[in-house]
Amino acid sequence: MFAARAEIVANVWKIVAREGDQVGVGDTLAVLESMKMEIPVYAEAAGFVSKILVEVGQIVQEGDPIMEIDETASA
């Protein structure tokens, strides 16, 4: 299990992956908006999205978890 985290204080702009989705390394899970930049949140490991921890429009701080990825469930 690992959490994809916000790399900067931001607004959650788009949630791309859904719970249960299988994701690969480098896939875009969500897009944050900060300083008028669209900042992608990438999957750092392959697995299944087990939990989405934020909502669109929510403010996240640097380091806040965005999604949980269950690596063990990866086939």
Partner 1 sequence: MTKLETPAEISTPDQAEHRTVLTQRRQDRFARVEPKGKRVFTARERAEMLVDPGSFVEMTPLRTAGGGSGSGVVAGWGTTDGHAVVVVSHDAAVASGAIGAVMAESIQKAQRFAIDKGYPIVYINDSGGARIHDGIFALHGCGGIFANNIEAQKRIPQISLILGPCAGAAAYSPALTDWTVMVKEQGQMFLTGPEIVKAATGEDASAEDIGGSALHTTVSGVAHLAVDSEDEAFDATRLLLSFLPSHKGGAQKRHDSVPANPGAVERLPGLVPDKSSVVFDMNALLDGVLDNGARLELMPTHAPSILTLFGRLDGHAVGILANQPAARGGILDSKAAVKAARFVEFCGRFDLPVLTFVDVPGFLPGTVEEGRGIITHGAKLLKAYVETTSPKLTVVVRKAYGGAYIAMGAASLGADVNWAWSGSEIAVMGPGGAVALLHRRALKEAEEPTVLRDELAAVYREEVARPYIAAEAGIVDDVIMPEETRDRMAAALRMLTHESSR
61 binds partner 1 (CB under 8 A): yes
CB of 51 to partner 1, least distance (A): 24
> Which residues in 1-75 belong to E strands, given as ranges?
2-5, 10-15, 22-23, 28-34, 37-42, 47-52, 59-60, 65-70
6 or 52: CB nearest partner 1: 6
Window contacting partner 1 (CB under 8 A); options: 4-12, 14-22, 45-53, 67-75: 4-12
Q: Is 62 in the site for partner 1 (CB under 8 A)?
A: yes
The letter for the amino acid at 5 is R
Query: Contact between 59 and partner 1 (CB under 8 A)?
Result: no
Residues 8 and 66 sit within 8 Å (Cβ to Cβ): no
Question: Which residues of this chain interact with partner 1, rule CB under 8 A?
Answer: 7-9, 33-40, 61-62
